[in-house]
Amino acid sequence: MIGWFRKNFSSLLWALLLSVAVWIAAVTAADPDDQRVYPKPVPIEIVGQGSGLVIVGEMPKAVEVTLRAPRSVWDRLEGQEQPIRAVVDLSGLGAGEHPVRVQVQVSENPARVVSVLPTDFTVTLEPLTSRVFPVGLTLNGQPATGYRAGNPTLEPLEVLVSGAESLVEQVARARVIVNLAGTRESLNQEMDVQLYNANNQALKGLSLNPSAVLVDIPVSQQGGYRDVAVKVIVQGQVANGYLLTDLSVFPPIVTVYSTDPGLVNALPGIVETQTLELRGASEDISTRLALNLPAGVSVVGEQSVQVDVSENPARVVSVLPTDFTVTLEPLTSRVFPVGLTLNGQPATGYRAGNPTLEPLEVLVSGAESLVEQVARARVIVNLAGTRESLNQEMDVQLYNANNQALKGLSLNPSAVLVDIPVSQQGGYRDVAVKVIVQGQVANGYLLTDLSVFPPIVTVYSTDPGLVNALPGIVETQTLELRGASEDISTRLALNLPAGVSVVGEQSVQVDVGISPIQSNLTLVNIKIEVVGLGDGLSAQISPAEVDIILSGPAPLLESLLQQDVRVIVDVTELLPGIYQLKPRVEILVADIVVETILPNTVEVTITPAVTPTPSQ
């Protein structure tokens, strides 16, 4: 038996190999291998990251994985939620830049990883740090006339800012910005806290705890003021065959005022306009109507309201044109190579590498006469002043032989991926500019803006170590703000270490906005003066005094003197009689605005002057 086995061993071996080959061929024919890209991006998972470290800068969010596997395996992979994992292990890595490789794990077998894009990249780790910042409040605008904002409160008064050490070091202030312009209601809501650097530029990529604070600003109406709705009074019907489609009034709510608060509080919540007559109207109406107000009550601001009435007739509408000519041409397609035009140069100290396009050709389709005009397909990229690499899809433009752009054609694809690496040369570095200020602006004034241009400058040294040692910012010379009461526009030099210089202009433009705090002031019982009265005449005014509501910068209002304000009634060339006249206010101080005169009309009685009787 053993002898027979030895004698026939080679035949048995060949039979076994043949059967295995037949089995493999049968399995492969029934379930052939496919090589394809997994249809969904695979998100990158970070493992092993130190608890005291944080990733900064840009890194890929996902990878593209190409697999080779039998169709049955592909079917199982595509039926699962997340059958493929892309893992980057940061175990043992400290602060700094580190090259890392993506490790792919597939849940089903047999499957072979053909490619991973990207396969590796650089991760920058920085220490995670936290710092507490007080929360400031910026109020923009003023409440509506007749309203006053009380003292604001914030809860909490501080936030904890956490993130990469280099980012946290850039934080100069944490602020909440509230717009009070025209508001009539108190504010009590949570508002997001914004972080800013020394140049007042918003910062992103940091964690705040809490991210919002409760802002409470009481807004109350001053005594004697009240907001009431406007009711338009109409009478009559529009013409036959017409329809009243719209009736609007602006403003729909007005503010009224009286020196006697009881008068405005007694109003029913609405004020009526004078009557608007609609009888027989066949056109839109746009007019202004006065308001019917009780004695002693007046409107703050404009004394009338805008009323708009729309009417539409029922009529037949015709369509023009009813016919036109259509020109048909054969549809044709042609493939064109895509060229690249680079305009401008990168910023000083930067160099652009070799560009690439993907794909290199586009299919142009359309009317035959238009396709025949196409001479070239190009992508135009402007590199002027750029500091960053370009990697984005950009539209392809078509041009004729005269370099004129062509429209009305279809391109497939309509955009191509343009990749242009841009890198900074050795010895150069971009750093932010930090404006150094000292002192406070004058009382009654507010620092509204502080800007620097350019916000980033390029510095250079023959010793690259000197620029690399900079903290990422350069400071200006000190700008003195103490007692300032007007805008400042100046140029400041930069404080640079020895051996380091600025590329280009050696100073920066700094603009500081300083504005007076706006306020309101009510002057009561201001006596009216009569001017232009003719010889031999006398005048009596009722009432003889008015109240004036002024607005303007708080410092000017606070320093306003009685002799700075005059209320005048001009009776030039008026004969004896009774007149309803509007007083005029003259203010000798600039930038103060008259909001309202109460009342805005007075009665002037002109009579012949009484001639004294001669004594006997």
Q: Which residue has the higher pLDDT, 616 or 12?
A: 12
Domain layout of the chain by residue ranges: 33-118, 127-221, 225-313, 331-424, 428-515, 518-608
Confidence of residue 316 (pLDDT cuts 50, 70, 90): very low
Is domain 127-221 classified as CATH 3.30.300.20? Answer: no
Angstrom distance (rounded) from CA 44 to CA 450: 41
Report the top-level CATH class of 428-515. Answer: mainly beta
- pLDDT tens, position by position, 163-173: 888 888 999 99
- Domain 225-313 of CATH type 2.170.120.40: yes
- Is the pLDDT at 13 greater than 60, yes or no? no
CA distance 21 to 284: 92
The pLDDT value recorded for residue 553 is 82
Average pLDDT in the 202-220 region? 87
Beta strands in 201-328 (DSSP E): 207-209, 212-217, 219-221, 225-231, 234-235, 242-250, 253-257, 270-273, 276-277, 285-292, 298-299, 304-313
pLDDT value, residue 11: 62
pLDDT value at residue 597 = 79
Question: What is the β-pairing status of strands 120-140 and 234-235?
Answer: unpaired
**CATH code, 518-608:** 2.170.120.30
Q: What is the 3-state secondary structure (H, E, C) of 176-218?
A: EEEECCCCCCCEEEEEECEEECCCCCECCCCEEECCEEEEEEC
Q: Do domains 33-118 and 225-313 have the same CATH topology?
A: yes
pTM beyond 0.85: no
Residue-averaged pLDDT of the chain:
83
Superfamily for the 331-424 domain: YbbR-like domain (2.170.120.40)
Q: What is the pLDDT of residues 562-599, one digit of tens each?
A: 888 999 999 898 888 888 888 899 998 888 888 777 77
Helix residue ranges per DSSP H, 8-79: 9-30, 71-78
Q: In this predicted model, which residue has the larger pLDDT, 314 or 270?
A: 270
pLDDT in tens, 232-251: 888 888 788 776 777 788 88
Instruction: For residue range 212-238, list pLDDT tens digits in order.
Output: 989 988 888 888 888 888 888 888 887
612 versus 68: the higher-pLDDT residue is 68
pLDDT on residue 19: 55
Low-confidence winner among 5-9, 98-102, 278-282 (lowest mean pLDDT): 5-9
pLDDT 10s digits, 382-395: 988 888 888 889 99
On whether the CB atoms of residues 179 and 141 are closer than 8 A, the answer is yes
* Per-residue pLDDT at 147: 83
Exposure letters 403-435 (e unless 16+ CB within 10 A, then b): eeebeeeebeeeebebebebeeeebbbbbbbbb
Q: Please write the tens of the pLDDT for every residue from 476-532.
A: 999 998 888 889 999 999 999 999 998 888 899 999 888 777 677 778 888 999 999
**CATH of segment(s) 33-118:** 2.170.120.30
HSE of 427, CA atoms in CB hemisphere, 13 A: 11
Q: Is the pLDDT at 92 greater than 50, yes or no?
A: yes
Q: What is the pLDDT at residue 464?
A: 86
Token pair, residue 605, equals 């009685």
